Amino acid sequence: MQKGRQRGEDANSSVDGERIQKVLARGGVGSRREIERWINEGRLKINGKPVDLGDRLKNGDHLLINDRIVHWEKFVEQPTRVLLYHKPVGEVVTRRDPEGRPVVFTQLPKLAISRWIAVGRLDINTSGLLLVTNNGELANRLMHPSTQVEREYAVRILGEVSEATIAKLKQGVELEDGKAKFDDIKFFGGEGANKWYNVIVAEGRNRLVRRLWESQEVIVSRLMRVRYGPVVLPERLKARTFYELTDKELDLLFEFAGMAGEKPAIAAKPEFKAHKSGKR
C-alpha cells in the first residue's frame, strides 16, 4: 500500500483537462477559493493570455502566476498527506520568525513538491495538536468559518471557577472582536490551586480560549489542543514528533471535510507510528 495515495484518481493519471484551481489547490499553492480570486484579479496567465474561471489545463500549457512560471505538471504526482504534529510551548506556527524563535515547519519532513500548510494556528504558549497538509483545498475546508469545526482544548486554570461563571461562558460573552462562547465545558480534575477543564469552541479566532477565560478574570496557566474536528491527539505522540495519517484515516477526514468524492481507491489498516522531527 502506498501512503498518501492520490485522492480520487490513480497517482499516475494525467491532470489533462482539469480546472486550474483544482490542480493548483492539490499542489498546495492555495485553496480553490484563493486561486479563483487570483484569477479574477488577473494574476494568472496561460500561454500568455489571462485565465478565465472555467479554463482547464492541458498537457503542454505554459502557466504563470504573477508572471512567474508554475511547473504545474508535477502536481499530477502529488499525493495528499496529512501530519499530526505535537507542538510544544515555545514554537511558533510560521515559516520564518524575525525574532529567531523555533518554527514548527523546520520540524517537519521536507516536501519535494509544494509545501506544508498549517490547518489553523496555535500561539507560542499553546501546545498540542497541529494538523499540517500539502493539500490546500483540504486545509481551506477544515479552516473555513462556515464549517464550524470543533476544536477541543485541555485547560489548566488557577483557582476555583463558579457554576455561574461556567454558565456565562457557555451562554456567550462580548469580546473586543464580537460575542464568543464555549460550546461545552467539562471539569477534568485537579487538586489544590490548579484545576483542569476540557473546553470546545467551533471557531478559530486568535487566542479565543484564553480570552474567554480572561474575560471572567480566570488565569490560564496551561493550554493544550487535544482535538481538531474528528482528529484526536494520540496519547503516545510526544512533543516535537508527528504521525502521518494512513489512507483509511485520510478517507475519513476527506469525508468529514465534504470531499467524499475524492476518497482514496485503497484503504489501509490504521497503524500508529510516531516520527521524530528533524531538529530540536
Q: What's the pTM?
A: 0.76
Query: What is the sign of the dihedral through the CA atoms of 247, 251, 252 and 256?
Result: positive
User: Given this model, what pLDDT does residue 146 score?
Assistant: 83
User: Given this model, what pLDDT does residue 59 score?
Assistant: 87
- 144 vs 133: CA distance, rounded Å: 15
User: Given this model, what pLDDT does residue 278 score?
Assistant: 54
User: Given this model, what pLDDT does residue 274 score?
Assistant: 62
The region that residue 17 occupies, defined by phi over 0 for left and psi between -120 and 50 for alpha, beta otherwise, is left
Say yes or no: domain 150-228 is CATH 3.40.50.2300.
no
3-class secondary-structure state, position 122: coil
**Residue whose grid cell is 504545474:** 72
User: Given this model, what pLDDT does residue 48 score?
Assistant: 93
% of residues, the chain, pLDDT over 90 = 60
- 203 vs 198: CA distance, rounded Å: 16
Task: Single out the catalytic residue among 10, 97, 123, 177.
Answer: 123
Which DSSP category does 236 fall into?
Answer: T
Is pLDDT above 60 for 2?
A: no
User: Given this model, what pLDDT does residue 77 score?
Assistant: 61
Domain boundaries, the chain: 18-77, 150-228
Considering the four listed CATH numbers 3.30.420.40, 3.10.290.10, 3.40.50.450, 3.40.50.300, the one that applies to the domain covering 18-77 is: 3.10.290.10
Decide which of 143 and 2 is more confident.
143
Q: Which residues pair with 180 in a beta bridge?
A: 173
- Is residue 123 annotated as a catalytic residue, yes or no? yes
Largest CA distance in the chain: 69
User: Given this model, what pLDDT does residue 113 score?
Assistant: 74
- 113 vs 198: CA distance, rounded Å: 38
Decide which of 182 and 204 is more confident.
182
Strands 274-276 and 241-244 come out as antiparallel
% of residues, the chain, pLDDT over 70 = 86
User: Given this model, what pLDDT does residue 262 score?
Assistant: 64
Q: Which cell numbers hold the place of 238?
A: 510526544
- Which runs of E-coded beta strand occur in 202-280? 219-228, 231-232, 241-244, 274-276
Q: How confident is the model at residue 25 (pLDDT cuts 50, 70, 90)?
A: confident
Rounded to the nearest 5 degrees, what angle is found at the Cα of 37, between the Cα atoms of 256 and 95?
70
User: Given this model, what pLDDT does residue 128 score?
Assistant: 98
Is pLDDT above 90 for 151?
A: yes
